[in-house]
Amino acid sequence: MGRIIGIDLGTTNSCVSIMEGNVPKVIENSEGARTTPSIVAYQEDGEVLVGTSAKRQAVTNPKNTLYAVKRLIGRKFTEKEVQKDIALMPYSIVAADNGDAWVEVRGKKMSAQQVSADILRKMKKTAEDYLGEPVTEAVITVPAYFNDAQRQPTKDAGRIAGLDDKANTNDRTAAALAFGLDKQEKGDRKIAVYDLGGGTFDVSIIEIADV
């Protein structure tokens, strides 16, 4: 049975981890960093750049370099949040035939999940290079505020990238679980989990019961 990886598909950065024994390990990418910029660039010759390489050429190729695409997942073109992004982003955000918010790159319309899949492929390859074996299953975290219309496209992005998303786990839930993995304290307690991300800032209060 193959290894299941954990992926934080972030608005600004993404990362991938595995369990080594009972300890989660964040895997360094090919540049030696534990996080990868959630940026995808589409070159004229068809090459797709993801992460730091995409970020480096963003200034000279702004219309074909996509970032913060997670903000569009599961959203309609007419939504207020999307209209705000249209005014801010250097790339083209367009309406799909079904009314979803898509992007247009080099004359081709693409869904947010297609772009996200390119980021997930990078995470998948990072894990495979470290493990030395193919990876086909993952747990991809999503913001707690994501509704079903946003969670399903995230799973679809995983499928496009060749990953079976075993669970749409809330990112703060994953953080809370990670907190308890190596803790031996007894007794009931409360902890605050905050996620200071590039797109949102979320706080949850978690009650841990000693049972």
Model confidence pLDDT, tens digit, residues 13-33: 999 999 998 888 999 999 999
Q: Which helix (H) or strand (E) holds 38?
A: none
Instruction: Categorize the per-residue pLDDT at 64 as very low, low, confident or very high, splitting at 50, 70 and 90.
Output: very high
Residues 37 and 10 placed together within one structural domain of the fold: yes
Q: At what angle do helices 148-160 and 112-131 cross, to 10 degrees?
A: 50
Number of domains comprising the chain: 2
Residues 59 and 80 placed together within one structural domain of the fold: yes
At residue 200, the pLDDT reads 76
At residue 184, the pLDDT reads 65
What is the Cα 154 distance to its own chain's centre?
Answer: 8
Q: d(Cα 102, Cα 56) in Å, to the nearest integer?
A: 24
Q: Residue 41 belongs to a domain with what CATH number?
A: 3.30.420.40
Residues 129 and 184 placed together within one structural domain of the fold: no
Each residue of 93-125: pLDDT tens digit? 999 999 999 999 999 999 999 999 999 999 999
- Asked if pLDDT for residue 182 goes beyond 70, the answer is no
Residues 185 and 164 placed together within one structural domain of the fold: no
Question: What domain range is 187 assigned to?
Answer: 179-208
pTM of the model: 0.87
Q: Which helix (H) or strand (E) holds 118?
A: helix 112-131
Structural contact between residues 78 and 99, judged by C-beta atoms closer than 8 angstroms? yes
Question: For 187-191, what is the mean pLDDT?
Answer: 79
Residues 98 and 198 placed together within one structural domain of the fold: no
3-state secondary structure at position 16: strand
At residue 15, the pLDDT reads 95
